[in-house]
Amino acid sequence: MYLPRGYVPEGDGGSAAEYEALTQRVTLWDIAAARQIRVQGREATEFVNYVVTRDVTRLAPMRAAYAVLCDSSGRMINDPLLLKISPDEYWFSISDSDLSLWLKGVNVGKRFDVQIQEIDVSPVQIQGAAANRLMADLIGDVAAEMPAFGLSEAEIAGLPVLVSRTGFSGEAGYEVYLKNSSIHAEQMWNAILRAGEKYGLAVTGPIQPHRISSGILAWGQDVDNEMVPFQVGLAAHIPRSKASDYIGRDALEQMRTEIAAGNHPYKLTMVGLKMEGDPIADYLSDFWLIAPSPDSEPVGFVTSASYAPKLQTNVALARLPVELAVPGTQVYVFEPTSDSTSRSVPAVVSAFPIE
pLDDT digits (tens, 9 = 90+) for 224-258: 999 999 999 999 999 999 999 999 999 999 999 99
Average pLDDT (161-170) is 91
Q: What backbone torsions phi and psi does residue 291 show, to the nearest 5 degrees?
A: -135, 160
pLDDT of 264 > 80? The answer is yes
Q: Counting runs of H as helices and runs of E as strands, what totals does the chain give?
A: 8, 19
What pLDDT score was predicted for residue 171? 81
pLDDT of 9 > 90? The answer is no
How long, in residues, is the chain?
Answer: 355
- pLDDT tens column, 123-138: 999 999 999 999 999 9
Amino acid found at 332:
Y
Residues 82-101 as b or e (16 or more Cβ within 10 Å = b):
bbbbebebbbbbbbbbebbe
- Identify the band that residue 11 occupies on the pLDDT scale cut at 50, 70 and 90: confident
What pLDDT score was predicted for residue 300? 97
- pLDDT tens column, 76-133: 999 999 999 999 999 999 987 889 999 999 999 999 999 999 999 999 999 999 999 9
What pLDDT score was predicted for residue 312? 92
**CA-to-CA distance for 302 and 99, rounded, in angstroms?**
26
Cβ–Cβ contacts within 10 Å for residue 304, how many? 20
Residues 261-275 as b or e (16 or more Cβ within 10 Å = b):
eeebebebbbbbbbb
**Per-chain mean pLDDT for the chain:** 94
- pLDDT tens column, 193-214: 999 999 999 999 888 888 898 8
Amino acid found at 40:
Q
By DSSP bridging, strand 27-30 and strand 202-203 are parallel
What is each CA distance from 169 to 63, 128, 131, 132, 305, in whole angstroms?
19, 8, 11, 14, 15
Q: What angle, 0 to 180 degrees and rounded to 10, lies between the N-to-C axes of helices 44-51 and 99-110?
A: 110
Amino acid found at 224:
D
pLDDT of 170 > 80? The answer is no
**CA-to-CA distance for 203 and 8, rounded, in angstroms?**
9
- pLDDT tens column, 274-296: 999 999 877 887 899 999 999 99
What pLDDT score was predicted for residue 352? 85
Q: What does 328-354 look like in DSSP terms, one character per residue?
A: T-EEEEEEE-TTS-EEEEEEEEEPSSP
What pLDDT score was predicted for residue 199? 98
Question: Which alpha helices (DSSP H) does 52-98 contain, by range?
Answer: none
What pLDDT score was predicted for residue 210? 83
What pLDDT score was predicted for residue 246? 98
- Identify the band that residue 260 occupies on the pLDDT scale cut at 50, 70 and 90: very high
